[in-house]
A = this chain, B = another copy of it.
Amino acid sequence: MFKTVEWKNNRVVMIDQRLLPEKEIYRSYARYEDVAGAIKDMVVRGAPAIGVAAAMGAALGASAVKAKDLKGFKKEFARIAKTLASTRPTAINLFWAIERMKGVVEENGDLSVERLKKRLVDEARTIHREDIEINRLMGRHGGRLLKDGSTVLTHCNAGALATAGYGTALGVIRGAIEAGKRISVFADETRPFLQGARLTAWELKKDKIDVTLITDNMAGYMMKKGLIDAVVVGADRIASNGDTANKIGTYSVAILARVHSIPFYVAAPLSTIDMKIKDGDGIPIEERDTREVTHMKGRMIAPKGVKVRNPAFDVTPNRLVSAIITEKGVVKPPYRRALTRLFA
């Protein structure tokens, strides 16, 4: 099996997701600035994986700090954290992971700088390990929602490639299968970055899970034909009222699911929930380079100079979400109350 992101010989090693499924190439980063670049350029993507990569990037940056005194170290570390935080705006896990690393610095003022550097590496590796455990818990809780013999539609990639391993949405599917259920999957290709075609189809096939690839605009057709029993997606940020930011197109899938009376589930760890935000309007939506839409594998697929919009995410309002699957259990509406209780 592949490793999405890993701490290895004091480097951060990541599978280059831009090249999948054609090439399985691992990149090794020795500088935190390069980890930041890899997050920005989507070598690594998926909210939890971005969080893990940022934590490891922070550990990498910390290890290279020259300052010998805590004050100097803190100043340098703040700069490192700022660089890593400025890579992508929507996934809250990025900021969550950086805050957790900052917390280690704050809480360990009594340690020497050298010991503190080691603590930060340990913390990044702990975040990595915990992420897999959390996904397995989500898989166990969420797997119960899927009936034996059912077909699940998923959008984008919320799998092992989007996390430290196992996956959020795909973790729920894996959880159901591990519980002995037969599950088939429809994967939306997820334009423009094709996470569904390139990543979800690839990792499910590798896992011998039955997967059928469709273009995004076929989801409604398949639902109307009665071929889809449930939708499970991941999340990049969930507001305190349950409004969910996820890959562009998720909102459309949620509407289609509602119209066809198909349950729509969001699987995400607590680190994806932003209790500081009242609702989805407060979630910043990243607009990415138009070249992602106009070019494919370097070849132009649209007329030169055409105007393009490329929002990378959209917000699904809480009323379209049947349940949120977390490591602490499955949460149902009303979400504000239920999510507050999770953090209590």
Contact = CB atoms under 8 A, between A and B. Distances in A.
Contacts of A212: 306-309
A192 to B, nearest CB: 5
Query: Dominant SS at the A interface?
Result: mixed
Contact of A191 (B210, B217, B255, B303): B217
Interface residues of A, number: 53
A213 B248 contact: no
A251 interface: yes
B202 A220 contact: no
Nearest to A203: B303
A183 to B, nearest CB: 14
A236 interface: no
- In the assembly, how many copies of this chain are there? 2
Q: Identify which of A202, A215, A297, A299 gathers the most chain B CB atoms within 10 Å of its CB.
A: A215
B222 A309 contact: yes
Contacts of A191: 189, 191, 215-217
A214 interface: yes
Nearest to A196: B302
Interface in A292-344: 293-294, 296-297, 299-311, 314
B302 A213 contact: yes
Interface in A234-274: 248-249, 251-253, 255-256, 259
B224 A314 contact: yes
Which of A212, A216, A222 has most chain B Cβ within 10 Å?
A: A216
13 contacts: A22-B299, A189-B191, A190-B217, A198-B302, A201-B302, A213-B306, A214-B309, A215-B293, A218-B309, A218-B314, A219-B252, A221-B252, A221-B311
